[in-house]
Amino acid sequence: MFELTGKQAVVTGAASGIGFAIAQLFAAQGANVVVVDLDAEKSKAAAAAITSKTSGLASGLACDVGSEASVQKTFSEIEGPIDILVNCAGVAHVGNVQSTSVDDFDRLFGVNVRGTFLCMRAAIPSMLHAGHGTILNLASIAATIGLSDRFAYSMTKGAVLSMTLSVAKDYIAQGIRCNCISPARVHTPFVDGFLAKNYPGREAEMMQHLAQLQPIGRMGTPDEIAVLALYLCSDASSFLTGVDYPIDGGYVNLR
């Protein structure tokens, strides 16, 4: 039901975390996956790891998603039609409106918003030519509910959600679907780095605290996000477009 054989999927931010889990699962389901990340060596290493563990094909390309020139160059190097685009590249920030610097604001906007926009704009011509395509953007529960000290991050994810709805509306007649996923906290290398930087010596204690904020009692895993991504990018979800899917351990509705 979730087979992707014969399809080419471009996944940004795919050298680690959620992006890597999505790229690996897509390859396991038969897709030809293009691993896109800022660092060329990490992109190639991730692609090599994927091909060693799955029966699918994977290649790695470097791209600064916030740079128009870099996005154009990277997508010009992708051979064949782009059937699936997953915009997973993103950066986070802790701070309220007063503690967020203009540089921080611009940095998050550049990657999370501008990057999602540029990659969609680069991929859609291929989808239009083929007469079909699927786009999946990574938003967040921060797009729709208030989170403390996540001002700039919430702003960018709200924009991702709005762009998702706009693209879904504008291209539905051309056979292009566009949806987004809104996770709550997921245990990724970013979480480990955040705890090590801000709570040295108390990592385990704070990990437990953050886990308990989800009503289900734990954080999500990248693999769990990848399964939902697979559904939304496969033909099994062909009747779905313009949808924001929360995957949050009950955070939004059960707190």
- DSSP for the chain reads ----TT-EEEEETTTSHHHHHHHHHHHHTT-EEEEEES-HHHHHHHHHHHHHHSSSEEEEEE--TT-HHHHHHHHHT--S---EEEE-------B-TTT--HHHHHHHIIIIIIHHHHHHHHHHHHHHHHT-EEEEEE--GGGTS--TTBHHHHHHHHHHHHHHHHHHHHHGGGTEEEEEEEE--B--HHHHHHHHHHSTT-HHHHHHHHHHTSTTSS-B-HHHHHHHHHHHHSGGGTT--S-EEEESTTHHHH-
Q: Is 153 in the active site?
A: yes
Query: Left (φ > 0), alpha (ψ -120 to 50) or beta: where does 131 sit?
Result: left
Q: Rounded distance, CA 230 to CA 220, Å?
A: 16
Q: Is 216 exposed, middle or buried (0-12, 13-18, 19+ CB in 10 A)?
A: middle
Q: Which two tokens stand for residue 2?
A: 């979730």
Q: Which residues are catalytic?
A: 153
